[in-house]
Structure formats: C-alpha cells, structure tokens
Structure 1
Amino acid sequence: MPVRNARPLWSLRMFNRLSRRALWRRAFALVVSQAVLQPAQAADEFAVTPAQMQSLGVQLQRLEPGGGAEGPTYPARVVLPPRQEQVVSAPLAGVIDQLLVAENDSVRAGQPLARLASPELGELQLKLMEAASQNRLAARTLQRERQLFAEGIIPQRRVQEAEAAAAQHQARQHQSEAALRLAGLDNATIRRVADGGTVDSVVILRARTSGLVSQLAVKPGQRVQPADALVRIADASRLWLDVQVPVNWQGGVASVKGLPMTVVGRETVAAGQSLGATVSDSQTLTLRAEVTRGAQLLRPGEFVQVRLPMAAAQGWTVPLASVVRQNDKAFVFVRTPKGFVARPVTVLASAGQTVRVAGDLQAGQEIAATSVIALKAAWQGKSGSN
C-alpha cells in the first residue's frame, strides 16, 4: 500500500540542499566576526588588532588641518573684456584708400591704421572755415561795440547784442571742430583749417590704445558707410574665463568673489568675479573669473578646462574610499586604542579620488583609508545591521 501524504523524493533533496546553504552562510559570518573582530563595549566601536589590520590590508590616514583640495574640472571659454577691445569704425562715408596694418600686427596708441578718402571731409572743413571766419568777425565787432559804449556813443543794448552774437559764432566753431575731431583729424590739423589752411580729402584713422590687430574687416578700394567696422584691436593683457558649472554646484565655498582657480595644463591662475543668475539650455551657470597670472598663455575664444577648489575652510579632505554608506548616511572609521569607531560625517563636496567631509573629527586622528569594506562588514555585524 502507498503511504499517503509522503513528500516526494525530489522535494526532500531540494530542502536539504537549501538548508545546507543557509547553514554555510551563517557559519561564514560567524567565522569572520569571531576570527577577525573581538567584542566591543560601544555600539559603533569594534576591536581590531594591528595583526588583524595587517592581514586585512587596512591602511590609515591622519587628518590634517588645512585649506581646500583640488576639485573637479569644468569647461571654460576665454573671453576678452569689452574694455580690452577697440573697434575702429568709419567716421564718414568714403573709400578705403590704403590699409597700413595687417592682421596679428602689434600696434601702439596713435599708430596709423588706414587712410579713408571721403568727400564729406571737405564739407566739414569748409564749415569750420566759415564758422571760424564768422567767429573772428563777431569778436572784432564786440570789441568795437564795447569801445563805443565806453565813449558814450552807443547804448549798452548794442554791446549785449554783440556779446550774444559772438557767443553763438564761437559755439558754431566749437561744433565744427568737434565734428572734424570725430572724423579723425588731430588738433593741429583742425587749427590749421580754422586759420584758413588747405583742405584735405583723406583722413588717417589711428589706434586709440595699444594691442593686437585681431581682424581687418575691409580691403583697399572698398566703399564704406559711417559706423562700419574697419579694424578690431584686442588688448589681451587682461582676460576673462566664463566657466560653465552645473546648476547645483556649490564647491563648499561661501562666495565666488576671489575664488582661486587654475587652468589645466597651463600656468594660469584666475580669481572668481561673479556667478550668473540665468540658467542656460544645458542647465549650467556661468562662473566668470578674471585671469590674474599667465594671460599671455591664453587666446580669446579658446576653450580650456578649469579646475575649481571644492572645499571651504571647514571640513576635512579624505580619500573617497574611506567613506562608507549605511542607508542614507555616510561614515568614516576612526582608529581607537581598541580598534575603530564609526563616525557619521556630512559630505560637502567630492572630486576624483578625494572627498570633503564634516563631522565630529579632530586633527591628528587616524581614519581607515583602505579595506573599509571588511571593516564595514564587521561593524554591521556588531551593530546588528543586515
């Protein structure tokens, strides 16, 4: 007769196999906790002897006070400040008679750049000559009227009318001189024209500041209109860096003003100026910095990599491998006379193989820098974590 409710043979074998696996797991955990670690007094402290540390490969690192550590790198564009760029434009309509410089030429302040032939220049000089002649006539009339009034021949009203006429003609002459000065004539040429000298049809455009010719926008014989850009001159002695940082970038710094940073691969140093308030389409912010050293190694428009500091005055710089996670908290293992104790820390910033943390730590303490996985397993077994 077959036996009712008897387990099939395959079911008993499977049960025995699963039971053996569970027993092996518990035995292994017991061996690790008893062979490597000794009972501890505190909930988060466990004993580890120097011999056990050597067998596990645990290395220590001493906490040292100090400033920030090297942080991550971000892309940046070299920008020429607006005050460092000069655009020489056409003051009048005319034809480019001659270019006196070439691209990438170094120029000094006052150096001739181009010759512009313009018929409007002759008209402006003619107006100055007329205004200067009328101004001289009004000045002589005023002098005569004052003399006649002093002799009692004419009333004072005529003197006042002569003064008003002289002031108007003098203002017209100043206006004509300003128009020629804006056209590019120097003061000596303007005085010569006002005194009745010859009229020129060509104006020489000069550089206002020293720099490097970055662009020639015209060619000889080309007709231009007023305000057309002719020559661009860049003074690269002062440069900016527009660094693109993530929106959530903090770096552990309280302010970006004066924040030191370096250009990767160059002996160039910059200082932070401001952090943009507008987020770009790539979800980044523009951190603007001014180059304080090594500007000659950069060129406007160039893309570089900039390394930012990641730490403030507070916190400690530790290896990334020394920080362990338990649930949603971070810990480091601090060396004690008996072994180690797990100390909770707050991660301020991280970059590469280092991380900046803050917590109940003191200078001179030693933390586990390697083989922290084995220490974490022992700590979890001691504290009852799964």
Structure 2
Amino acid sequence: MKKIIMAQIVFALSLTADVTLTPQEEKSWQIQSAKAKEVTYVPLDTYMMQVTTPPTLLHTISVPYEAQVVQLHKTEFEHAKKGEVLATLSSQNWIEAQKEAIDTWIELSYSKDEANRRSQLCKEEIIAQKECFVADEEMKRDTIKLQAAKALLRSYGATDEVMQKLFNELTIFSNIELRSSVKGVVLQTDIQVGKNISPSSALFVIKTEGENWLEADIPQAVVKTLQPSQEVILRVGKDEIKSKILLISPTLHPLNQTRYVRFVLPKDANLLAGLRTKVELSVAKRAFVIDKKALIRQDNESIVFIKKGQTYSALRVDVLAENREVCYLEYKEELKEPIAVTATSILQNRLNEEK
C-alpha cells in the first residue's frame, strides 16, 4: 500500500517538474517533437443512422367522394407542379353537385330579378315595404346557398374557370380533374385506371422540397455531452455534411441505455429517404490533435511533454476522443508549443529519477 501511495506522489510531483536534456541526449534517445494540430470539430464515434422525411413535407391527396378513375396522369417518383393534373375521375356525386349548383344559380337569378322588381314598386309605393323586405331575404338566402354550392364544387376540385363555364353555359362536366395542391415528387400512389376509390382514401403522397432528418440511437455517455442546436459534422463515406442537432429525447432506452437523437439533413445532401447507413459523428469544439504515442497515461491521469528550448515540461491534459492513431485534447494554450512524440517514457523516467 505504501509503495502505491509513494508511486502516486512521485507521479503527481513529476507533473509539476521539468527535465532539461542536452542535444546529445535528445539525439541518443531519439526524442522528436511536433506541433499539435488545432481543430474545430471533434469526432465522437460511428453510429448507424437512418434518413427519414419530416411529416410536414408529406402531403396526401384524396377526394371527399366516391369516384372511378378514368385516366392516370402521374405515377410514383414523377415530379408534379402545384395545380398540375394527377388523375381524371368520374363521379355521380360530382354530377349531382353540379346540378344542385346550377339550380341554386337559377334560383338566385330569379330572386335577384324579383327583389329588383319589388324594390322599384316599393319606391313608387305600389306595394308595401314588407314585400320588398321578404324579397331581399329570399335573395340573401339564395346567395348563401350558392356560396355553399361553390364551396362544395371546390372540394371536388373545380376551378374558378370550370365554375364560370358551368354557370354561364349551364354545362355539366362528366369528369373532374384531380390536381396537386403542392409542388413535389410523388412518393406513393394507390390509384388504378378503371378502379373505384372511396372517400378520403390516400390516392397520392407527395413530398415537397425541404430538409430531411437523420436519426440514430446514441449511447447515453455520449448524448450527455450533446445539446439541441449544437453544430455537428456528419461523415458518410467520403462526404462531409454540416448539420445541427434538432432533438434529443428526454427518455432513456432501458435495454441498451441509448437516447434518440435527430439531426437536420440539408437539401444538398445526397442521401435518400429510407437509407440506413453508418455515419461518423463529430461535434463543433475547439481542440488539439496529437499522435497517440505522445500521450502518457498513469493513475487515471493523461500527460504530454511540452518542449521549450531544451526543457520538457509535463502537462496534464483532458482527452475528448481518440482512435488507434490520434487523440483529441481539450483546448489549452500550452498545447500550441511543440510536443514530444517519441521516447516519452524516457522523459517520464528522467522526471521520476530527478524526484
């Protein structure tokens, strides 16, 4: 026990000591030094991640009525502009809605003429004002009915041009064009020519332009060092993607002690929705990179030797991340000086001997 305590004391003292070597000693022991590389991102580890599409970018096209598919204009993975025809449908409900709208239009035309006629007679005091009031109320009622009829036609997909022709020419359209409400790419279709479709069924799913998500389950030990909106670098193969953290789940998965983390995936990232791949995660942090051979570990401490002239000084450092070749160290001004990268064990022994 005493030996262990003495060793710890010697090591602790060595961290505050210096060792000065002659050029001949440096050459004999082949002690070399190099400057650490300063970086702004620190790699954490590689994780399996999946590309997903935010629900806000997915738009479902459906119809509120039963219909039959007459013609299909767009299918999966084709681009669709806003207002572009996706399919041509035929529906008895659509025909009935047009008939009711025409009837309402005719009724309103009649009630307007009647209201104008009675208004003139009231001005001449030929009929009572009460009859003018009744005529005006009938006209208002028919106006509201026509507004409701137009709203129903719009729910079927009728454009202003179609409704204008419907009322001016009193022509009923047997088919209705199903148009896209957004600009994007058709991801899914559930529609076939000659088949009947039910109300509110998802006929087309269209993805609009926008940023996808990259999602992963990351160990709690790593997640506790992260925070929402933090800038990160995602490396997929040779591609480097600048991103940020959108969400960190507040709960811990009890089986593998991981937490769900969501990253934003920029539009220009060439990763398709549904892709599952390995991604190297790096966080934005100022640090230094050194050769792993330059690092000495003893009693849960990590040190490097800073060189100034012919003198080497032991410096405690905090290791942020490491791999087989290099270590990433917490930023310290002292690390801007040259660091011994070979024969570090010899320097450690010299310090211990002097102590």
Instruction: Report TM bin, short chain.
Output: 0.7 to 0.9
Which position in structure 1 is the counterpart of 2:207? 234
Note if contact 1:252-1:310 (Cα within 8 Å) is conserved in structure 2.
no
Report the number of matched residues: 341
Match of 2:301 among 329, 335, 343: 329
Q: Which moved more, 1:75-84 or 1:54-63?
A: 54-63
Determine helix, strand or coil for the equivalent of 1:115.
Answer: strand
- C-alpha RMSD of the superposition: 3.2
> Given that residues 57 and 371 in structure 1 are in contact (C-alpha distance below 8 angstroms), is that contact kept between their aligned partners in structure 2?
yes
Helix, strand or coil for the counterpart of 1:152? coil
**Partner secondary structure for residue 312 of structure 1:** strand
Q: Does 1:111 pair with 2:79?
A: no
CA pair 382-190 structure 1, distance change in 2 beyond 3 A? farther
Distance in 2 between the 1:330 and 1:52 partners? 25
Alpha-carbon displacement from aligned partner over 1:44-81 (angstroms, at most 9, x marks no partner): 32334444444444432324555224553333222223
Distance in 1 (CA, whole Å) between partners of 2:307 and 2:43 is: 26
Match of 1:67 among 30, 40, 43: 40
Cα distance per residue 1:223-250 (max 9 Å; x no partner): 2211111122234564332244332325
* Separation (CA, whole Å) in 2 of partners of 1:73 and 1:238: 22
Secondary structure, in 3 states, of the residue corresponding to 2:161?
helix
Indicate the structure whose relative CO is greater, using CA pairs within 8 Å and at least 6 residues apart: 2
Pick which of 121-130 and 72-81 moved more: 72-81
Q: 1:369 aligns with which of 337, 341, 345?
A: 341
Q: 1:367 to 1:143 in 2, by over 3 A?
A: same
2:290 is the alignment partner of 1:287: no
Amino acid paired to 1:341: S
For normalisation by structure 2, the TM-score amounts to 0.81
TM-score norm. by structure 1 comes to: 0.75
Q: How far 1:88 moved relative to its partner?
A: 1.9
Give deviations 1:316-348, integer Å, cap 9, x for gaps. 333344333222332222124443222122334
Cα distance between partner residues in 1 of 2:128 and 2:352: 112
Q: Is the 8 A contact 1:129 1:196 kept in 2?
A: no
Going from structure 1 to structure 2, the CA distance change for 1:346 and 1:184 (only over 3 Å counts) comes to: same
Matched residue SS, 2:273: coil
Q: 1:105 to 1:185 in 2, by over 3 A?
A: same
Structure 1: distance between partners of 2:159 and 2:107: 22
Q: Confirm or deny: 8 A CA contact 1:63 1:363 kept in the other structure.
A: yes
Give the conservation status (yes or no) of the 8 Å contact 2:228–2:248: no
Q: Distance in 1 between matches of 2:315 and 2:302?
A: 8
- Equivalent residue of 1:68, what SS? strand
Rg (Cα) greater in structure: 1
Q: Secondary structure at the match of 1:173?
A: helix
**In the TM superposition, what whole-angstrom CA distance separates every residue of 1:347-385 from its partner, at most 9, and x where no partner exists?**
3444664433337543631222344344344445555xx
Q: How does 1:297-308 map to 2 (within 5 A)?
A: 297-308=270-281
Residue 167 of structure 1 is matched in structure 2 by: 140
1:203 alignment partner in structure 2: 176
Instruction: Output aligned runs, 1:23-102, within 5 Å.
Output: 43-63=16-36, 65-102=38-75
* Structure-2 change in CA distance of 1:319 and 1:41 (3 Å): closer
Q: Which amino acid counterpart does residue 123 of structure 1 have in structure 2? A: E
Say which SS state the counterpart of residue 331 (structure 1) adopts.
strand
In structure 2, what residue type is equivalent to 1:73?
T
The aligned residue for residue 7 of structure 2 is none
User: Among residues 222, 227, 251, which one is paired with 2:195 in the alignment?
Assistant: 222
Q: Displaced runs of 4+ in structure 1, greater than 6 A?
A: none
- The residue that corresponds to 1:138 in the other structure is 111
Query: Which stretch shows the higher mean deviation, 118-127 or 71-80?
Result: 71-80
Q: Which residue number corresponds to residue 271 of structure 1?
A: 243
**Within the alignment, does 1:310 sit opposite 2:283 as a pair?**
yes
Instruction: Please state how far the C-alpha of 1:169 moved relative to its aligned partner.
Output: 1.8
Alpha carbons of 1:134 and 1:369: their partners in 2 closer, same or farther (altered >3 Å)?
farther
CA contact (8 A) 2:41 2:233 kept: no
Q: Distance in 1 between matches of 2:44 and 2:19?
A: 34
Structure 1 residue matching 2:318: 3-state secondary structure: strand
Query: How many angstroms apart in 2 are the aligned matches of 1:335 and 1:135?
Result: 96
**Percent of aligned pairs sharing the same letter:** 21
Q: 1:189 to 1:329 in 2, by over 3 A?
A: same
Displacement of 1:157 in angstroms is 4.5
Deviations 1:287-307 (A, max 9, x none): 333333633x22111123333
**More strand per residue:** 2
Deviates more, 1:111-120 or 1:286-295: 286-295
Comparing 300-309 with 64-73, which one deviates more in the overlay?
Answer: 64-73
Indicate if the aligned counterparts of 1:318 and 1:355 stay in contact, CA closer than 8 A: yes
Alpha-carbon distance in structure 2 between the residues aligned to 1:43 and 1:198: 97
| Structure 2 residue matching 1:229: 3-state secondary structure | coil
1:170 deviates by 1.5
